[in-house]
Amino acid sequence: MTKKETEKISSTTLGLIVGCFVVILALALGLLYPKFKNLQKVKADLLAKTIRLEEQKQFYSVYAQACGLADTKVDTSLPLPERKAIPRDEVSGLARVFKQIAEGQGLILLENRMDTESFKTGADLISMNMTYKGAFLHFRPALIELIKLPCFKRLETVEIRTDRDNARYCSIRFRIAIENNGVSKNQGQI
């Protein structure tokens, strides 16, 4: 064999070895790269689940307390007095009571108006309209105090509004029970 043939064989062999190596490398990358991507995805999912479990561990004590409170029975009824009608001659004194309720809850009583049509002979209920001005959170205690009045009969409307200066108003329409003056509704009418 001549030197040329030896070089030719060795270059062919070298080309064949390099070609086989490239094919093997391409196959290995083709098979291993998707597995590598899946492995990265699994690692990211594992990290996300670990973080979520750590967050849940932090809130478990709050959750356990909330479950305990959810099972606790709470009496939600208000201690309301026995309902009784107010004498007609004492109706005018209610204005002072409404003002005391407003002041006791940090509100201002802007309007206290009685529906005079409902105060006619034979009526056992009269309608009242009131408007309080003050902080939003003080309206609820004021309504509860109003409902605790023995002569309170029925709440008809409650409207809470805000004006341009961000002042809050609570307008209430309700009915109170008054003593009938002995004349039936049919006798008072002709």
pLDDT on residue 100: 92
**Cβ-contact 105, 123 below 8 angstroms:** no
Domain membership of residue 145 (yes or no) is: yes
pLDDT on residue 75: 64
Q: 171 and 100, same structural domain?
A: yes
Of 161, 104, 153, nearest to 131 (Cα)?
161
Q: What is the domain extent for residue 25? A: 1-74
pLDDT on residue 2: 62
What digits encode the pLDDT tens for the residues 136-181?
888 889 988 888 888 888 888 999 898 888 889 999 998 888 887 5
Low-confidence ranges of the chain (pLDDT < 50): 183-190
Half-sphere exposure of 55 (CA within 13 A, CB side): 6
Q: 61 and 92, same structural domain?
A: no
pLDDT on residue 102: 92
Domain membership of residue 190 (yes or no) is: no
Q: Residue 101 is part of a domain; what is its CATH number?
A: 3.30.70.60
Among candidate residues 74, 104, 134, the one where a domain is terminated: 74
Q: 64 and 119, same structural domain?
A: no
Domain membership of residue 158 (yes or no) is: yes
Of 140, 174, 138, 142, nearest to 157 (Cα)?
174
Half-sphere exposure of 15 (CA within 13 A, CB side): 6
**How many Å from the N-terminal Cα to the C-terminal Cα in the chain?**
145
Q: Does pTM top 0.75 for this prediction?
A: no
